[in-house]
Amino acid sequence: MPYIVAIHAFIDNYIWVIRDHCHAAVVDPGDASPVLDYLEQEKLKLIAILNTHHHNDHVGGNAALLREFTVPVYGPANESIPTVTHPLKECNDKESAEGNAYIPEFSLSLRVLDIPGHTAGHIAYYGANLLFCGDTLFACGCGRLFEGTAPQMVNSLQKLTDLPKETGVYCGHEYTLNNIRFARTVEPGNQALIEREAKVEALRKQNIPTLPSDIAIERATNPFLRCDQPEIIRNASVYAGKPLSDPVSVFATLRDWKNHF
On whether the pTM is more than 0.95, the answer is yes
**In Å, how far are 78, 111, 236 from 87, measured between CA atoms?**
8, 13, 39
Active site residue 122: no
Annotated catalytic residue, options 28, 31, 135, 214: 135
DSSP string, the chain: --EEEEEEETTTEEEEEEE-SSEEEEE--S-HHHHHHHHHHHT-EEEEEE-SS--HHHHTTHHHHHHH----EEEETTS--TT-SEEE---SSTT-GGGEEEEGGGTEEEEEEE--SSSTT-EEEEETTEEEEETTEETTEE---SSS-HHHHHHHHHHHHTS-TT-EEEESB--HHHHHHHHHHH-TT-HHHHHHHHHHHHHHHTT-----EEHHHHHHH-GGG-TT-HHHHHHHHHHHTS---SHHHHHHHHHHHHHT-
Range 35-43 average pLDDT: 98
Question: What's the chain's average pLDDT?
Answer: 97
Annotated catalytic residue, options 28, 55, 114, 122: 55
Q: What is the pLDDT of residue 81?
A: 98
Q: What is the pLDDT of residue 245?
A: 86
Active site residue 23: no
pLDDT one-digit tens code per residue, 70-120: 999 999 999 999 999 999 999 987 778 889 999 999 999 999 999 999 999
Q: Phi, psi at residue 158, to the nearest 5°?
A: -65, -40
Active site residue 86: no
Range 185-201 average pLDDT: 98
